[in-house]
Amino acid sequence: MKIGILGAGQLARMLAEAGIPAGHEFVFLDPAESPSAARLGHHLRAPWQDADALQVLANCDRITCDFENVPAEVLALLSESVTVRPSARAFEVAQDRWIEKQQFEALGLATPAYRAVESRPELIEAVEALALPAVLKTRRMGYDGKGQFVIHQFEDLELAWQQLGGKPLILEQWVDFDHEAAITAVRSCDGDIRYYPLSTTCHRGGILRLARAGQGQSQLQQAAEHAMHKLMDELDYIGCMTLELFVVGDTLMANEFAPRAHNSAHWTIEAVPSSQFDNHLRAVCDWPLGNTALNGHALMVNFIGHMPEPERWLRIPGLHWHDYNKSARPGRKVGHATLTAPDAPTLNQRMADLQPLLDHDLRSMMQNLP
């Protein structure tokens, strides 16, 4: 099939890497000059709403996205002439934190308390209602820690407003979580859902740095699958979705969801028979879904800002290297490595071999993984 993808970053690149062996062709719409996926298909460099580019996409067999902030109205327009998966509705919900939180509540999913904020007085009222610390976020265009300010004390309010004020905001209650987690699932057009194992995730500066899969947290896995099932069915969702969660004791709290392939499940490329990218394309194209069972244990490390030299990393058994072909820039995801092993003791030994290659913060994160 000819598949149009809105966005041509590393997620589109990995979708194409999964799809080309299956015979798919790819057309990417992305305003960037030389995005990561461009060499793997036909790159349309144009704004999202460009009429000529959208006409080219309308001649594809399927449309999907690698970026959750593609304008939902563009997807709705395309859906009049071509099958778009996931649907525009899923993006409408995911693109506004206020709507997203309301959706979680409507489904009975636990989520941090929140308040809408559009003025200084409303910010003060929200802080008084939720107490401090709390997190002030933009309702739209927030990802990888962008558009967020942690308010620790009342003296922080003015600085927070100076940085984020002037647009619709949401104040969220601070969650004293045990750790963070994420679950990825794929749903077909006939409602069949396959779940990937829950992964433990670690962030720094709002950006994912580590994700480990294979701990076998059966109670949490069941709770995460239950939440994902509710959300996917409600949205009549088709494709891969990731739900990010806070773990508080035996309770899961929904933080946010992404209507696309997700960084926290990149380890699925090597660690399961059918990766999130393969299964997303299967769902988009009405093909049977693949096996999501974990082959062993896996740890993914994100490379932020620049790629390290691969030689020392690749000496470690089970190490898989992914360079996104992106220029170095502070705060930018430029690649990742996935460490795999048949069992937990072997993975732990390989993680110990990896630690000397990490900075202090990452070593500390790895040592404190639950």
Establish if 295 belongs to a structural domain: yes
Give the pLDDT of residue 144: 61
Q: Which of 154, 173, 192 is the last residue of a domain?
A: 173
* Nearest-angstrom CA–CA distance, 93 and 210: 27
d(CA 345, CA 297): 9
* Average pLDDT estimate for 40-68: 96
Dihedral-angle region of residue 350 (phi above 0 means left; psi in -120 to 50 means alpha; beta otherwise): alpha
Q: Has residue 217 got a pLDDT over 80? A: no
67 and 132 belong to one structural domain: no
* Shared-domain flag, residues 227 and 260: yes
128 and 259 together in one domain: no
Inside any domain, residue 102 = no
Looking at per-residue pLDDT, the higher value among 370 and 295 belongs to 295
Q: Write down which residue in 66, 84, 102 finishes a domain.
A: 84
In this structure, the number of other CB atoms found within 10 A of the CB of residue 311 comes to: 7
Burial class (CB in 10 A: 0-12, 13-18, 19+), 81: middle
Q: How many CB atoms lie within 10 A of CB 136?
A: 24
- pLDDT of 218 above 90: no
pLDDT, tens digit, for every residue of 68-125?
A: 889 999 999 999 999 999 999 999 999 999 999 999 999 999 999 999 999 999 999 9
Tokens of 114: 């929140």
d(CA 278, CA 272): 11
**Residue 41 CA: distances (Å) to CA of 65, 122, 153, 170:** 15, 48, 50, 39
Task: Report which DSSP code applies to 263.
Answer: G
Q: Are 119 and 242 in contact (CB under 8 A)?
A: no
Task: Give the residue-averaged pLDDT of 250-258.
Answer: 95
| Bridge partners (DSSP) listed for residue 51 | none
Q: Judge contact between 10 and 35, C-beta under 8 A.
A: no
Greatest Cα-to-Cα distance within the chain, rounded to the nearest angstrom: 58
> Cβ(197)–Cβ(213) under 8 Å?
yes
pLDDT of 146 = 73
One domain for residues 44 and 150: no
Highest mean pLDDT, choosing among 99-103, 128-132, 143-147, 156-160:
99-103
**Residues 30 and 8 placed together within one structural domain of the fold:** yes
**Statement to judge: residues 190 and 251 lie in one domain:** yes
Q: How many domains does the chain have?
A: 3
256 close to 140: Cβ distance less than 8 angstroms: no
Whole-angstrom distance, CA of residue 248 vs CA of residue 186: 25
Helix (H) or strand (E) holding 367: helix 360-367
From 202, 154, 213, 149, select the one nearest 180 (Cα to Cα): 202
Asked if residue 330 and residue 296 are part of one domain, the reply reads yes
In a domain, 55, yes or no: yes
Residues 332, 359 within the same domain: yes
Same-domain check for residues 165 and 140: yes
* 148 confidence band (pLDDT: 50, 70, 90): confident
Packed helices 276-284 and 10-19: angle between N→C axes, nearest 10 degrees? 70
Domain boundary among 173, 198, 225: 173
Report the CATH number that the domain containing residue 33 is assigned in CATH: 3.40.50.20
Domain contains 100: no
Is residue 247 included in any domain, yes or no?
Answer: yes
- The reply to whether 265 falls in a domain is yes
Q: Is the separation of the CB atoms in 244 and 257 below 8 Å?
A: yes
Kindly tell me if the per-residue pLDDT of 220 is higher than 90.
yes
Give the residue numbers spanning the domain of 230: 179-367
pLDDT on residue 142: 67
Q: What is the pLDDT of residue 145?
A: 62
Same domain, 228 and 357: yes
Distance (Å, rounded) from C-alpha 226 to C-alpha 146?
29
Shared domain for 23 and 77, answered yes or no, is: yes
pLDDT digits (tens, 9 = 90+) for 153-205: 888 888 998 888 888 999 999 999 999 999 999 999 999 999 999 999 999 98
Q: Which one-letter DSSP state was computed for residue 314?
A: T
158 Cβ contact list (under 8 Å, min separation 6)? none
Report the SS3 class of residue 53: helix
